[in-house]
Each structure stands twice: as C-alpha cells, then as structure tokens.
A and B are shown apart, each in its own frame.
Chain A
Amino acid sequence: MHLAVCCKGIPEEAGNFSFSTDGNHLSFDTASVILNESDEYALDEAIRWKKRIGAKVTALTLGGLESQEILYLALAKGADEALRIDSSAGSPWEVATLLGKAVERKEADLVLVGVQSADHMASLVGGLVAESLRRPFIFAVTSIEIIADRGTVIVQRELGEGRLQRLEVQLPSVLAVQTGICPLTYAPPARRLRARQKALEVLDPEQLGFPAEILGRYRKERIEEIMAPMVPQSAAMLQGSPQEVAAFIVERIREAS
C-alpha cells in the first residue's frame, strides 16, 4: 500500500501580496512557509496508517526551494520519501495537473490532500487531481479505514452542516482530509535535524511532461484586478470595568436585535 500526501507550503505570515509575474495568481511576500494545517492532518493520518499496516508514505509538494522545509518536516514525522515539484505554478488546474503526474509516477494507491489551504481556501486541488487521474474523490473526510485485502477504503465524511456519511470507495482514490481527523504529532528538533540529511527528489514540470507552454493551457481563469486592502473597519473599542462594558453592550444588543 502506497500513500501519497500533497502538502502545501503557505506563507507563515501573509505580508504584502502582489501579482505574480504572469499576472495570473497572487504571490505573497513572505520570509518562510509553513505546512498548511489540513495537509498536516492528512500527513499525520497517512503516517498512522504506515504504522498500522506498514504502508509506504510519500510527501509531495510544489514550490520553490523554500517549500522544502515542509518536506523535511514530513520526513521527520515519518514519511518514507519526499518529492518537490520545482514550479511556481499557482492556478489550481496547473498545480493539480503536475501533482497528478507525480502521483502517477509514484504509483500511489491512495492520495491524501487537506480540505483547503489557509491562503486561498478554494478547496479545488484534491478534486482536480482525482479527476485528472480518473479516480474517485471524497471531500471532507473525518475518518479513514483502509481495507487492504478488499482494495477499498471505508471513510466517513462531512456533508456540511454537521451531517455525516459513511462510504466505501475503491482504490486507487483521492481523499481530502478534514482537520481533526487524528491528533497531530510533534517532530522533535533532533529528528528534524536528522531529516535534513535525507535526500529529496526534485522534478521540474518538463520532467513530468509539462513544459510551460503546455501547462499554461490548463489555466483558464485570469485575475484582472485586486482591490487594495479595504481599510480594516476598526471596531469601536469599549473601555471600562466588566460592569460598565456589560451595561453598554446590553444597550447595543437591544438596538441590534
């Protein structure tokens, strides 16, 4: 059983943003990237299955050199292999096309992604990867049980608004993992240091069969304009003792409701 986990590096702090050089996606001015929260749950869930059934886990990311930090973290947590696609592609269709090719190359049976990235929150890449590979896709998965001998996975997923559903899905497939699926593990500094000694695989889009001019066709949408940050509407700040503050709020509640 081979599990691939798609891990996105997101800006640690969203500082200034700008258009990318091709004008088609936003890039953030940031010193370092961190592993996106729901991807970390996907990674930890995969590693739990490595421990339970001896599955192999490969961590995948797409980005520049700075995003290798994420892969080192994945290796420290217990991933067996790590692959970085060296690309600045930003459109979900481009990203998913490349990730899909990498999954195919790695021959992974089950692909885990997080439900959404904290920077764009489009929740698209998982579904797009699945469709590019013609595999079934389940979104917002809150529990996973791999039935290796049947070649299926039994998952529970959210339907939104607190409703849940249990499903059986054939492998190979793609699951978008919801936060909270398992406890997050901590990778101690010593292990993180050791992980840095491990070799990472790096492939560029050409090596995956997608030179820039072909890849560009996968991008349909175009960002035309970004409005300057709306000046944050600052709240009227209340001062005073809890009694004074409460009295004022009660008054406002009366007006508002």
Chain B
Amino acid sequence: MKKILEIGLGIVTSVGGFLEIGSITTAAQAGASFGFQLGWSIVLGTLCIAFLVEMSGRFSAVSKQTIPDAMRERFGANFFAVPLFVMLGVSLLVLAAEIGGVAVAVEMATGISFPIWALPVALLSWALLWKTTFSTIENGVSLLGLVTIAFAVGVVKLHPDYGAVARGFIPTLPSQDKSKYWFIAVSVLGASISPYLYYFYSSGAIEEKWDESYIGTNRAIAAIGMGFGGFLSIAVLILAAVLFHPRGISVEHYQQLPELLSGVFGRKGFWLVIASLAIACLGATLEIALSLAYLVAQGFGWNWGEDLAPRDDARFALTYTMLVLAGSLFALFHADPLKLTQLSMALTATSLPIGTFPFLILMNDTKYLGKHTNGHIGNAVVMFISVLSGVLGLVSIPLELIGGG
C-alpha cells in the first residue's frame, strides 16, 4: 500500500513538474509555426527523459550514490570538470529563463514590466530553498503544478482532428522554413530532456533513502509520470496548432501565451495560463538551483542536503543562493525571456551527449549496478536521441543565428 501511494505521489509530482517555460514555449512555437508536424520531437524527447529518469533513479537506488559523485570517482576530476562546467553554464541560462518566466507571468497579471519582478522572484525562490525541505519543494510545488492539466482539458474542449495529431508523431521533412523547423525541433528536444531533471531525481532518491526495493516504483514513476508530462506538452502544441497556425500567428512574445486557453475558457483561461506559467517556472527554478548545487557539492565531496539546515551545509546553501541571484540578473537587465528560453533549450539539446555518454558508461558498470545494469533498448534509445539532439543542435543553431534556411 505504501509503495502504491509513493507511486501515485511520484507520478503526480512528475506530471506537475514536467511543464516549465521551455516546454510551454517551444511546444507553442512548434504548433503555431508548423501545426501538428513537430509532434514527433515531443514524443522523442519524452521517451528519452523517461529512460534517463528511470536510469538515474535505479542508479541511486542500487549504488546508493548520486550521478555526479560516481562520475567524479569513475572518470576522475579532469574529465568531470567538462560536464560540470557545461552543465553549470547551460543550466544557468535555463534557470535565468525560468526566473524570467515567473517574472513575465507576474507582469501579465499586474501590468508592471517584468524586470521589476526579477529580484522579488529570486528572493521568493531563495526563501523557499532556504527554509523548506526537499519533500516540501518536490511535492508542494509539483502538486500546485497540476494546474497545467488545464492545457489537456482545453484540447478536449477544442475537438481537434486527432488523426492529424497522430500523423505529426511520424517525423517528416518541412516544405518551407527549414532552419526554423529544425531549430524549433532541437529546442523542443532540449526542453523535454533537461539534464537537471535526472540529476535532481538521482539526488532525490538519495535524500529519500531509496534502496533496491524501489526499482519497480521508480520504473512506474518514470514511465507514467514522464509519459503524462509529455502528453501535456503535446496538449500545448495542439492548442497552438489549432488556434494560432491557421491564422498564421507565430509565437514571438510571451503575451501571446494566454490566448492558448483564453480562446477556450475565456477570461478564466487567461488566468489559468498565468497560474500555470508562474507555478511551473517557480518549480523549475527551485529544481534547477538545487540540482546545480547538488552537482557542485557532490563533485567536491561537501556536506549537502536540502533537509539539512543552511548552517550545516553552508557551502551547499550559498551555492544555490548565488545561482538564484545570478539567474535573476538576466531578467533584471531586460534580457528577452523568450529569446533566452529558445537559446538555452537549443544549447541544452546540443550539449546533451556530454552528460549522457559518461552516464551511460556508469549505467553499464556492474561495479555500481550489479545485475541491474542497462538493457540494450535503454542504451540504444538514449544514445540515439542524444546524438540526434547534439547533431541537430550543431547544425541548426548557426543556421538560425544567421537567419538562413
């Protein structure tokens, strides 16, 4: 019974925590610009993150170690420095985009320009990290994040052509705007396969003292939770494809996002999008800041733990403090949150192999996993999607930046 409750809670938090600024924006852009045609990129991204989350939970449950911990001892400090700095750099941009996302949501609610809200949002995020425990963050914010289910309800009310939606799950080549098509595809992949998510999950398994008996629970949470999460991203794509695409509207500003639901629910829809954006981005801000602090603390062997008081892990607590502050500076100095989101998602996808390849080596090492090492399917899926993301990113980012196509 306890396990069933844990699976239920795990799925709810995965669903509630799946959507954030990256997945909402990129799915909306995909739907607005290309109708249902980019549905496949969300399916691939969700498949890959489901496998990665399952692997990270299994890794920590069996080895009792976190990924950064094992990566440093297995590959040495000189190698570990590469994923450490790449992840810190890219995820700091994602963190900045999420803080910008909360600030933009408050701007839309109050009419007061988003840079004003950067520091208050940072202060709120920091206070939650400073004062609360891991489960409060994981369960509390993710439960509130269930408001994002409104996107799925919106789709049901719209009655889209489900046959056309399904055809979008098969990859096809674009007939026009090739560079934009691939750039959005890469951004969607980056938004779905956020490395901070599985680092966070791995540390969570240690914080919650998982052991081998959790392997089944972990598998159910990863498959169902991430599956439903991906379903919500697809819902955003469908809404944009039905409401924006036929009218030739592309998503250029955040202010367009409320139309995704106000077209279905009226004024209530406007507030649902704002609440979804604010809560989802706040949740992601907390998870990214914690995830990066875990990465640094575990890499250097410091005392760490969200359940410890800040005075007992001063370096860990000050690391997330500095990260939240640094992340808020982008919005404070008027960095366009939409452009920042697009760029950070594309960079996440491009840099994916740097983190996933060493992780796959760990996942196949019997010293850590005994008889629970990866199967061929898991290895092949993660390897294929990581390489695809990396290659597409390397090709499409320069093309998008020079405006080719």
> Does chain A bind chain B?
no
State the A residues within 8 Å of B (CB): none
Binding site for A on B (CB under 8 A): none
